Amino acid sequence: MAGTATVLQLNQRKVRPKGFVAFLATLQFVDSRRFSFFVCRPTQNKETSGDDASAVHSTVTNYIEAFYTGNAARMEQTHPHYLKHKIHGNIPVREQTGADLVQAARSREGTHLTKAERTERVTVLDVAGNIASAKLVTPGWPDYMTLTRIDGQWKILYVVQRFDD
């Protein structure tokens, strides 16, 4: 339905010290409430490697495949402090913890989708040291993810999910 979708804006601004860029992210809800926050990252990331981006991509792919197949053991690979915020039109923002996520996989919530509907597009947006961001797009929703590397393994820490009408 037109006018009920959440709007996400990213405005790039240079900040000091030199060599850093800040992004002002604004979530605007249909009831006109706004939530803004800054994300800061180096303008050049010499630590990013193709291996890191590939590992982040694999982590996100594993996550959605675990959902599609109802594989709770694979879903347990998220960060212990995992948290997802679900945004859907006029419905109040809902939260899902890691334990909720594993239970959803165990209950096989994603297995109702046909194999043709089980598609995804993963984009690694940035990798900076032990922090990464990625976007997962499925036919019904996009997920905006923050990942962190712990003991050499990438873990999904935080997700903002927007449901499309």
Q: Decide: helix, strand or coil at residue 119.
A: coil
Report pLDDT digits (tens) over 31-66: 666 666 555 555 444 444 679 999 999 999 999 999
Mean pLDDT score, 12-31: 52
**What is the reported pLDDT for 77?**
84
**CATH number of the structural domain 45-162:** 3.10.450.50
pLDDT band for position 125 (cuts 50, 70, 90): very high
Mean pLDDT score, 105-118: 81
**What is the reported pLDDT for 136?**
94
CA distance 78 to 158: 9
Q: Which residues of 33-52 are buried (b: 16+ CB within 10 A; e: fewer)?
A: eeeeeeeebeeeeeebeeeb
More confident residue, 159 or 5: 159
What stretch of H or E contains 59? helix 50-69
Can you give the residue ranges of every domain in the chain? 45-162
CA distance 83 to 21: 26
pLDDT band for position 154 (cuts 50, 70, 90): very high
**What is the reported pLDDT for 113?**
77
